[in-house]
Structure 1
C-alpha cells in the first residue's frame, strides 16, 4: 500500500513559523488555522445535528449503519451486553488467535484491548506482554460497568476480528496499527493524516500521547509533513523510517469511504478513522463528531481556507465520488492556493490548536 518517493520539500517559511515555541495570532491568521472556539461554534454546532451524536458515539451502531452504505469495518465476532454473558467468553476465544475488544461508547482509544496471539493459556498483547482469561473477563466487566464510556454510562463490549496491518505500512509504526484520520466537511474530504504509534505513545495512534502525525496530500495520499509532540520530524523516532517516503495506494477509495459517511450520518463536520488491513483493505474504525485540530500541525497548514471553499460552493455535489473528485482537484498540495478572507481569525481570539 506504500510507494517510496523522493524527498518532498514541504516546509516553507510560513510552516516553519508554525512550529516555533511562540506563535502570534497574526501568523495563525495567515496560515488559516482553525482554533477550538471557531471549530465548536461555526462548524460543530452549526453543521452537526445533535440527534446524530448517539450514532457516531456508539461504535456498534456506527458499524451496523455504515454497512448499508458499503463502508467496510472489522468483522463483528461478538457483542457482550450483560455481566452473566462474560462467562461464555471462554468458548469464543478458544477458536481465536487474535481479536480486539472495544467499549461501544468509548473515546480516545480508552478501554480497547488488542490480542495478537496466544502462548499456551496466555493471551499476547502487541507489546509482547501477556494476560490471562481472568484479566480479559475483568476488562469486559469494567466495560459493561461504564468505566470507559462517555459520561460513565453502562456500556456493551464489542469483540472484533484482529486487524492485520498492511506489511509495508506496518514498518512505519511501533507495535500498534497505524490509522488514517480524514476530516470530512459536508461530505468533502478536506484534510488527512496518517497516525503512527510510538514507544512514547505506548503503541497507540494518539498524537497527544506521543504518536507521530504525518500530513497527507488530499490529491495523492503522499506525505507532506510530520510532527511528534507538535515538533517537525523527518524519521520515525523508533523505527527510523523516513516519513517523507510514504504514499498511500488506493487513496481515492479511502476518500470515497470517508465521504459516504456523510450520507449515512448527515454529520456536516466529522473525523473518519480508517485502517488498512492486509487481506481486506481499508476498514472503518470509527467516526468522531468532534475531531481534534492537531491534524493542522501534521499538515503544516490550516483548515479554514478549505472549509470556506466548501461553504462557498453554489452547487454542492450529490455523490461521494463527485465530492471526492472536487476535493482532489481543488485541495491538493499542487492545487491553486485558496483565498483567505481577512476576517477569518481575529487577533483577540484564543488560539488553542492542539485539541
Structure 2
C-alpha cells in the first residue's frame, strides 16, 4: 500500500529506511546473492559461527526426510527440553519450544501439552516446506533450549528474549531486544506479539518499547519497566555482531544473539534481509547511520575499531546531536 505523500515525506525527513530502498540501495549493493545460502540455512550458519569460535546452541539432531521422523523418540530419549526449528525458516515461523515433559507428552512454554503424534506432525510440516523460504522442502533441526539470563526474567514471559543487531559494512548501527509475551506464545517474534525495545548502541541500556502499534514502557504481562535495563556483556555482543560480517561476507546483515544464563552470548542466526522494525523500536531512522558509515567508516577497520566507531556515532546522545545539526 502506498503511503500518502505527506506521511512518506515526513518519514523520509526523519531518516526512516523503507523496504524498497533497503532492497535497492543496500541489500542488492552489498549482499552478494551467492552468499545467501550461508545464512538462509541455519545449520550452515551454525557451522560458520563455530568455525569462528562463536558459541551457538548445541545441535542435538537433524531430520531431513520423512522416514527419519520415526526415530524421533530415540533422538529425544533423556531430553526434557529442546527447540525444534526449520533449517530454512524465516520470521520465527515453525519454531517450537519444549520446556519439559509429562509422561508421554511434551510441554510448550505456554503450558500446553503436545502428544508424540502432534510433535511428529509438526516436524512433518517443517519437512514439507510449510515454514520454509519459498515453500520448498526443508529439514528440521533439534537443538539446546537457551535458559534466560536473570536480567531479562522480569521483562519476559515464558520465553527467552533475543537481541537483534543490524550490521552495515561490519559496523553495528542499530539494535533492539525482542521480549516474549503471552500473545507471542513465549517467542521473541514481533509479528506474533512480542515487544521490541530499542538499545543504546553506546551503553547497551534499553529504552522505550513498541508492541504492535503502541509505545510501551512496561511489559504487558509482568508489569515491570522495560526501560533502563543494562544488557549484560554489551561490548562483547557488539564485537560478536561485527564479526558476523567478516564470517558471512554480507554487508547488510541482521544478527540475532541470546544470553544464556550458563553459557553467555550465543548466536541464533544471521539474516540477509533483516526487517525494519528495529527503527520503530528505537524511534529512529536507519538512513543517517548508514550514511555515516558510508562517509566516515573505513573498509580496513578491524572489529574493535568498528565497534568503537559505532559506540561513538550511534549512541542516543550522539544520534540526537547529529539529528539536530543535520541540514
**TM-score if structure 2 supplies the norm length?**
0.93
Shift of the alpha carbon at 1:26? 3.9
- Paired residue for 2:48? 65
- What root-mean-square deviation, in Å, do the aligned CA atoms of Structure 1 and Structure 2 show? 1.7
Shift of the alpha carbon at 1:35? 1.3
Is the 8 Å Cα contact of residues 80 and 156 (structure 1) preserved in structure 2? yes
- Encode CA deviations 1:257-283: one digit per residue, 9 max, x unaligned: 111111111100011111111111111
Among 279, 290, 296, the alignment partner of 1:307 is 290
Mapping 1:215-294, distance limit 5 Å? 215-294=198-277
**Aligned with 1:253: secondary structure?**
helix
- The 1:265/1:314 distance shift into structure 2, 3 A limit, reads closer
Unaligned runs of 5+ in 1: 1-21, 343-355
Is the 8 Å Cα contact of residues 200 and 211 (structure 1) preserved in structure 2? yes
> Is the counterpart of residue 209 in structure 1 residue 209 in structure 2?
no
- Paired residue for 1:8? none
Shift of the alpha carbon at 1:111? 1.1
Shift of the alpha carbon at 1:314? 5.9
- Paired residue for 1:162? 145
- Paired residue for 1:198? 181
Count how many residue pairs are aligned between Structure 1 and Structure 2: 321
> Is the counterpart of residue 77 in structure 1 residue 60 in structure 2?
yes
C-alpha separation in 1, matches of 2:85 and 2:191: 20
C-alpha separation in 1, matches of 2:282 and 2:63: 39
- Paired residue for 1:124? 107
Among 3, 14, 25, the alignment partner of 1:31 is 14
Is the 8 Å Cα contact of residues 170 and 178 (structure 1) preserved in structure 2? no
- Paired residue for 1:44? 27
- Larger helix percent: 2
C-alpha separation in 2, matches of 1:237 and 1:218: 25
Among 125, 147, 150, the alignment partner of 2:130 is 147
C-alpha separation in 1, matches of 2:96 and 2:183: 18
Is the 8 Å Cα contact of residues 109 and 185 (structure 2) preserved in structure 1? no
| Higher RCO (CA-CA < 8 Å; seq separation 6+) | 1
Is the 8 Å Cα contact of residues 309 and 338 (structure 1) preserved in structure 2? no
C-alpha separation in 1, matches of 2:185 and 2:97: 13
- The 1:120/1:101 distance shift into structure 2, 3 A limit, reads same
- The 1:136/1:305 distance shift into structure 2, 3 A limit, reads same
- Paired residue for 1:349? none
Deviates more, 1:262-271 or 1:314-323: 314-323
Is the 8 Å Cα contact of residues 317 and 323 (structure 1) preserved in structure 2? no
- Paired residue for 2:164? 181
Is the 8 Å Cα contact of residues 101 and 157 (structure 1) preserved in structure 2? yes
C-alpha separation in 1, matches of 2:108 and 2:192: 19
Unaligned runs of 5+ in 2: none
Among 299, 305, 313, the alignment partner of 1:330 is 313
